[in-house]
Homo-oligomer: A and B are copies of this chain.
């Protein structure tokens, strides 16, 4: 009953996500989005209402994919504890690599949470989902006898999230590859010592 779209929505969303991810929300202009997606301004606004609406939609998609991917990667490891620490230190031999531009959710949360309620809500959701995932994994590691049965799963999960985000921060702050590797090793050793049986 109406003119059909010439573009594939998912393809457009992927291109827009790459642009937001590379440059950040504020530094991404609508013109950059039209160039990256190939859409005209009016098509883009017609389909996604505004730059902000488009971004929120992309960020929520990202959050869901990230949560699923993280859960899959962690639980795929035969050792629950190793699967978890690999994620925390982004050291899974390539499967959980930390992209040069960092995590889109972490970047957006740090830059926008204070002034954008929708971003903050997504950040909180990502945090609580990760917390639950990590706590479950820690419980399994305890049942497997890999770590001390006395540590509190949820509290340990919180500490691991802090460590993970700290490493990501060091990565983004540009301290250098060698120093970053040392920091990852140091963090991992601290974590291991704290849960040793």
A contact residues vs B (CB 8 Å cutoff): 24, 26-27, 100-101, 106-107, 109-111, 113-114, 120, 123-124, 127, 151-152, 155-159, 161-170, 172-176, 179, 182-183, 185-187, 189-191, 193-195
Contacts and interface: CB of A to CB of B under 8 A. Distances in A.
14 contacts: A24-B111, A110-B172, A155-B186, A155-B189, A159-B187, A159-B189, A161-B166, A161-B170, A162-B163, A162-B166, A162-B169, A163-B190, A193-B193, A193-B194
Contact of A114 (B101, B127, B175): B101
Contact of A109 (B120, B173, B189): B173
A109 B174 contact: yes
Interface of chain A, helix or strand or loop or mixed?
helix
Given A111-B111, A158-B182, A174-B124, A190 B191 contact: yes
Contacts of A175: 123-124, 127
A54 to B, nearest CB: 20
A129 to B, nearest CB: 12
Contact of A113 (B27, B106, B172): B172
A16 B14 CA distance: 39
A115 to B, nearest CB: 9
A150 B114 CA distance: 42
Contacts of A161: 166, 170, 183
A114 B185 CA distance: 23
Nearest to A152: B186
B156 A186 contact: yes
B172 A169 contact: no
